[in-house]
Structure 1
Amino acid sequence: MKIVDKLKKEKVSISFEFFPPKTKELEDSLFKTIEELKPINPTFVSVTYGAGGSTREKTRDIVKKIHEETNLTVMAHLTCVGHSKQEIKQILEDYKNIGIENILALRGDIPLSFDKKDIPLDGCKHAFELVSLIKDNFGDYFCIAVASYPEGHPESPNLERDIYYFKQKVEAGADFSITQMFFDNSYFYDFLDRCTKAGVNIPIIPGIMPITNFNQIRKFASLCGATIPEDVVKLFEKYADNPEETKKIGIEFATKQCEDLLKNGVKGLHFYTLNKSDATIKIYNNIKALL
């Protein structure tokens, strides 16, 4: 089923992101996580795609397995950097044959090992071109999601230009968006205001990253340009040598973040699970009275 249709029916959507595991042992662990999260009855789950297509086959295999072995609606991430348009069409045709109806269309990070000659001349340089390619070749078969950045994409010169690029993706045919992680809700609310002023009215689902390993999340945040407020940094640094306390306050922080979003009328939450269930389940149980 198309996710955009499900979003119209549900009061509040809950969804989860997974990444393709590298070993059979980790794959078994992922599907154990999926089983543990299934009782929440998520609106959808998604599977990431490595930089430059580095997890192309693994992403496809995990998406196919979730689709065939569970009752979950699954969305495949697809990045266009490093692929020719013909390759992209082949990937999409394969997903269509499998029965996948939902794609998260991304430009993707450019791998450090890439040279300009590694980027196909007939490829898509930007996400809006990928959205257009999907629409031009598959019509309305796929529900298309795109990424958005409450604090602006790291490569955007300013927030106004960032909205311009986001609107290009929407006008090309994007059905809904999932945001990059953020740790101060004011960035998300300001982003929604900018979208409204720009005439962007697709559903925008905030991406939630529970802080269970502070050094790991701080590294992720620095790479994607997400600000961690100074008082939050100090709080987690205080418990740098205490993993259990870090996880506890990380769950408390994410719970408060989600409660504030829900009380302000947000209609969905997308959890970056890092292929683990414990923190997400605890946060869900803390907020389910608001759903």
Structure 2
Amino acid sequence: GDVSTPPSLFPAVRPRPVPMSSTVVQGNKIIDKINERLKRGEQFFSFEYFPPKTEQGVKNLDKRMTSMAARGPVWMDMTWGAGGRTSDLTLTLCNKIQNEKKVDALMHLTCTNMEQKKIDDALTECKKTGVRNILALRGDPPHGEERWTATEGGFSCARDLIKYIRKKTGSHFCISCAGYPEGHPNVRKVITDSKWDPQTNTPKYWAVRKTKDGKYEGVSPKDWETEQNYLKSKIDEGAEFIVTQLFYDLDIFYAWVKDCRARGIN
């Protein structure tokens, strides 16, 4: 019921602090754990959750996280919530993951409705609770708004947020960023180029898929170049690994990885 029920029907969920020991044990950096498993040729997995909208939802999630933690994920990540509305709860749940479930937490952190001081407060809380992994994102538009705009005194994109975190905290955090093998939704468009041949994909479009109505959509070479250059800039500013958007075509994913490698994204 939490997913489909409008949040306005419920009062705000008040996060409850997790009891902490006097000595905080800092978590592991996820990039180190990934590299260790890659060297050993091991497969690995993680779980992602979003903050529930009700008190009962929080209790249900806590039980599920306990059960799923026993499966041995390398990490568990918690989203920041659409429009930054559940930021306090995200911090509380990451605390639970790190210190109760004994799994390294990856906390999503977005630019939406977040001026610099709020970012600073979130990073301070992470240090207090031993959370060392941040997925830095621009974020979705605030609840009820269609377009995303930067918050005054905040950040305009994920790259700027990554740059700020790295400058402020040095190497303390393992920072990750988002990647889009099929292109960001904002740049995926129906291909209307009359010279384009769908059989040979000439001239080349990226991440081409046939839609239900028989049309083809993809990413133009110009937009793809812009997207990939931006991804590289996030890595250059301090992101250590990429979490991809959901995709369904492995060939598209492999082509994206090959293109990333060619740009020095390793």
TM-score (norm 1): 0.65
Q: How does 1:56-67 map to 2 (within 5 A)?
A: 56-67=87-98
1:6 aligned onto 2:33: yes
Of 11, 14, 21, the residue aligned with 2:52 is: 21
Going from structure 1 to structure 2, the CA distance change for 1:150 and 1:100 (only over 3 Å counts) comes to same
1:182 aligned onto 2:247: yes
Letter of the aligned partner of 1:104 in structure 2? L
> In the aligned structure 1, how far is the partner of 2:263 from the partner of 2:101?
39
1:193 aligned onto 2:258: yes
Secondary structure of the residue that 2:45 maps to in structure 1? strand
Letter of the aligned partner of 1:188 in structure 2? F
Letter of the aligned partner of 2:118 in structure 1? E
1:81 aligned onto 2:81: no
Going from structure 1 to structure 2, the CA distance change for 1:163 and 1:39 (only over 3 Å counts) comes to same
2:156 match? 125
2:13 match? none
Of 142, 149, 160, the residue aligned with 2:225 is: 160
Q: Deviation at 1:176?
A: 0.6
Q: Deviation at 1:12?
A: 2.2
Letter of the aligned partner of 1:56 in structure 2? S
> In the aligned structure 2, how far is the partner of 1:163 from the partner of 1:130?
18
Letter of the aligned partner of 1:172 in structure 2? E
Confirm or deny: 8 A CA contact 2:141 2:149 kept in the other structure.
Answer: no
Confirm or deny: 8 A CA contact 2:175 2:238 kept in the other structure.
Answer: yes
> In the aligned structure 2, how far is the partner of 1:31 from the partner of 1:117?
32
Confirm or deny: 8 A CA contact 2:49 2:78 kept in the other structure.
Answer: yes
- Runs (4+) of structure 1 exceeding 4 A deviation are 114-118
2:177 match? 146
Going from structure 1 to structure 2, the CA distance change for 1:163 and 1:119 (only over 3 Å counts) comes to closer
Q: Deviation at 1:122?
A: 2.5
Q: Deviation at 1:164?
A: 0.8
Of residues 173-182 and 108-117 in structure 1, the stretch that sits farther from structure 2 once superposed is 108-117
> In the aligned structure 2, how far is the partner of 1:200 from the partner of 1:112?
34
> In the aligned structure 2, how far is the partner of 1:101 from the partner of 1:186?
33
> In the aligned structure 1, how far is the partner of 2:263 from the partner of 2:68?
37
Q: Deviation at 1:184?
A: 1.2
Letter of the aligned partner of 1:39 in structure 2? A
Confirm or deny: 8 A CA contact 2:112 2:138 kept in the other structure.
Answer: yes
CA deviation map 1:15-66 (0-9, x unaligned) = 1101111222212221222222223211101000112211111111111122
Structure ID, larger Rg: 2
> In the aligned structure 1, how far is the partner of 2:90 from the partner of 2:133?
14
> In the aligned structure 2, how far is the partner of 1:21 from the partner of 1:59?
10
Going from structure 1 to structure 2, the CA distance change for 1:70 and 1:114 (only over 3 Å counts) comes to same
RCO (CA 8 Å, sep 6+): is it higher in 1 or 2? 1
Unpaired runs of at least 5, structure 1: 202-291
Letter of the aligned partner of 1:21 in structure 2? P
1:211 match? none
Confirm or deny: 8 A CA contact 1:51 1:79 kept in the other structure.
Answer: no
Unpaired runs of at least 5, structure 2: 1-27, 188-221
Give me the identity figure in percent: 36
2:16 match? none
> In the aligned structure 1, how far is the partner of 2:151 from the partner of 2:76?
30
Report the number of matched residues. 201
Q: Deviation at 1:95?
A: 1.1
Higher helix share: 1
> In the aligned structure 1, how far is the partner of 2:106 from the partner of 2:248?
25
1:38 aligned onto 2:38: no
